[in-house]
């Protein structure tokens, strides 16, 4: 079978002292088998609790590969069923980290586009700890692996479900992949200027690139560095 959705996962907020400063999180996602409407700000039935750092147009839907869950399951020594990493879409048959930022995926009747990357947070670490994972140095390990999975922007609202094919309908010419964007924002700051040539990123990404240019004494392009997305 080609690129497809293994699972579609949604969740509602739960309370817990382990859940960071808000003591509430919706990282717990559960698979659903029925068709799920996709709206501009995410999947129907999926809650975003921490709206300061999660959700929004550029983080409407989070995708993570079944292959990468399997990689981590082997290293961590615990089973990782779909949704364990808080992902909305568990994929298979497509390297989501080598996807170009801004390319278009048609899934069911919806069209989604990689627009941002996941930076590991303390809630993520605490959540894995509740699944029996030894989380010592977790954020560092996740960053070093460099396979964060993309946050997706909703280009066209629609409906999708588990088993749907993932069809790449458009690929931009810039060459910046999800993995490159992740390294630029974490371990390889010299890559940050490449983000200025990519349309449809969150303003924070362009701001980081412009700050890097200023710090290194290089010319900063005129304008806000955020060309409009398609």
Class of domain 4-178: mainly beta
Q: Dump pLDDT digits (tens) for 23-47.
A: 888 888 999 999 999 999 999 999 9
Q: How confident is the model at residue 17 (pLDDT cuts 50, 70, 90)?
A: confident
Residue 228 pLDDT > 50: no
Residue 226 pLDDT > 80: no
What percentage of the chain has pLDDT greater than the value 90? 77
Residues 32, 56: contact at Cβ < 8 Å?
Answer: no
Domain ranges of the chain: 4-178
Q: Dump pLDDT digits (tens) for 204-221.
A: 999 999 999 999 888 888
pLDDT at 184: 98
pLDDT at 227: 46
């Amino acid at each position: 079978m080609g690129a497809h959705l293994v699972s579609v996962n949604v969740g509602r907020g739960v309370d817990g002292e382990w859940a960071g400063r808000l003591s509430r999180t919706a990282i717990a996602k559960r698979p659903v088998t029925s068709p799920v409407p996709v709206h501009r700000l995410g999947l129907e039935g999926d809650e975003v609790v921490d709206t300061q750092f999660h959700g929004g147009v550029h983080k409407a839907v989070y995708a993570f590969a079944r292959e990468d869950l399997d990689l981590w399951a082997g290293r961590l020594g615990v089973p990782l069923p779909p949704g364990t990493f808080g992902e909305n879409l568990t994929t298979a048959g497509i390297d989501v980290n080598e996807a170009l930022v801004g390319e278009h995926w048609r899934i069911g009747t919806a069209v989604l586009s990689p627009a941002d990357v996941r930076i590991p947070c303390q809630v993520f670490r605490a959540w894995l700890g509740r699944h029996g994972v030894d989380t010592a140095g977790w954020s560092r390990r996740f960053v070093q692996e460099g396979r964060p999975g993309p946050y997706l922007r909703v280009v066209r609202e629609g409906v999708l479900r588990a088993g749907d094919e993932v069809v790449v309908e458009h690929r931009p010419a810039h060459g910046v992949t999800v993995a490159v964007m992740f390294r630029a924002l974490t371990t390889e700051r010299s890559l940050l200027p490449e983000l200025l040539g990519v349309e449809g990123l969150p303003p924070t990404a362009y701001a980081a690139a412009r700050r890097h240019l200023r710090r290194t004494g290089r010319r900063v392009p005129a304008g806000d560095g955020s060309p409009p997305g398609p």
